[in-house]
Copies of this chain bind each other. A is one copy, B any other.
């Protein structure tokens, strides 16, 4: 008697992620997987980005939340295509959920796809969603010890956005210490110090997006 066993839920996830990655490559879509603690500012970063770059790129957002469609409404208000995934208790997105959400988006009209994961510094990191890069968002209100305490995300991310820098005068957060720890885990990590409230530093983040998208487009051509 042969009893089939799914040995590895991650392995199953990676198969679907590979087909997504291939699809994104064919279309030249830059796909980014945004991961952070709850309240670090993923949606605020998206709102600013979607507004400020609306003249340059066609952008779409897949929003992951346990409950509510608040975030999808926020990003859709900028005019971008948006789909909400409600995980109903699930602590992360996976490639199947992203594939299902994609069916609600118009592929041929996407230059940049943002996947806003469930607010969670741990579980989403292990589930590949076919993205070109994971982007870690860290709010300075969370403390400069987070890269050291939650190393996997910072090890795997292509970029770290250090958000809410307008709060630096009011919190104990050593920017250099946080960056040093993150780069110890990941030598090539790009770091952007930004405030989505004031707009400070966003231009560097935008330039990185431009360069990443240009590279993707060139590969597809």
> What residues of chain A have their CB less than 8 Å away from a CB belonging to chain B?
1, 3, 37-40, 65-68, 70, 89, 91, 118-123, 139, 141-143, 145-146, 148-152, 164, 166-167, 170-171
Contact = CB atoms under 8 A, between A and B. Distances in A.
15 contacts: A37-B38, A38-B146, A39-B139, A39-B142, A40-B142, A68-B145, A68-B148, A70-B149, A91-B120, A91-B123, A141-B164, A141-B167, A166-B170, A167-B170, A167-B171
Number of identical protomers: 2
B120 A151 contact: no
Contact of A142 (B38, B145, B152, B167): B38
Contacts of A164: 141
A79 to B, nearest CB: 22
Top 4 A-B pairs, shortest CB-CB distance: A39-B142, A141-B141, A91-B122, A39-B143
A89 B151 CA distance: 9
A165 to B, nearest CB: 12
Nearest to A39: B142
Contact of A89 (B3, B141, B145, B152): B152
B66 A151 contact: yes
B123 A38 contact: no
B167 A67 contact: no
Contacts of A66: 122, 149-152
A68 B121 CA distance: 16
Contact of A121 (B1, B38, B146, B167): B38
A42 to B, nearest CB: 11
Contacts of A118: 122
Given A40-B142, A141-B167, 4 more contacts: A39-B142, A66-B151, A66-B152, A67-B148
Contacts of A1: 1
A119 B145 CA distance: 12
